[in-house]
Structure formats: structure tokens, C-alpha cells
Amino acid sequence: MKTEQAIPSKVSRVRVRNHFQEAYSLSKDQIDILLKSSARSLETFLSALEDVVGNGGDLPQIARFGHGLKGVLLNMGEDGWADLARKIEDSAAEGQDRDYKKIVATIRLGVEEILNVSDR
């Protein structure tokens, strides 16, 4: 019997900034740049996933975009969210029929504060 994966708490700019500082010892300006870059990457992968899932769900593409999304989330220190992206990647790679649209929507909602970083 499979249990549903717990949804992590929403990603906050403060948490991501703290991670960038602690993990990479970056300056405030460097953190600002990396935060904006992360926002662009998140949007790119989420939009790509939404497009492919909305167009019938080519599983190899879903797996590839899930892999990219996982990487961005891991770089941000968001392991819980990366686990959801890993679920997309692994399930699609195994040919599993899942509600990918719902998982992607959940991730988008969880990272919305980062997506709303200005001057992306």
C-alpha cells in the first residue's frame, strides 16, 4: 500500500537566501543573482512540465524536465520539494501513470514566493 508523500512547507526567500549563504558563502549581491536565476529556472522547468503534461504526457520528456526541476530545488536546499520532483522523474521514467498535473501544480504553489522574485 502506497502512502501519499507529505507536502513540504512553502519555500520562502528567507530560507533560500539563508541556504545560499550557508552552503555557498555568497555575498548579498551574489545571493540576489542566484535567487533570480533560480526563479527563472523554476519557471522554465515548471512551464515545460505543464506544457508536456497538458499535451498528453510524453513520459521521457516528463522525466527529463522532472530531473531538471529536481536539480534546481536541490541547489536551493529544498530537499523536500526536490523529492516531489524526483517522484515525477522516477515515475515517468518507469512509465507509471500518475497525476503529474497535480504534482506539478503542487510544486508551483509551493515555490510561488520564489517565482515572484522581481526583475527576473
Q: Looking at beta carbons, which pairs linking 91-99 to residues 24 or more positions away fall under 8 Å?
A: 92/59, 92/60, 92/62, 92/63, 92/66, 93/59, 93/60, 93/63, 95/59
* This model's pTM is above 0.85: yes
Residues of the chain whose pLDDT is less than 70? 1-5, 118-120
- Separation between Cα atoms, residue 19 and residue 97, nearest integer Å: 34
Q: What is the CATH number of domain 13-119?
A: 1.20.120
Q: Report the pLDDT value the prediction gives residue 2, as an integer from 0 to 100.
A: 47
CB 19, CB 76: distance < 8 Å = yes
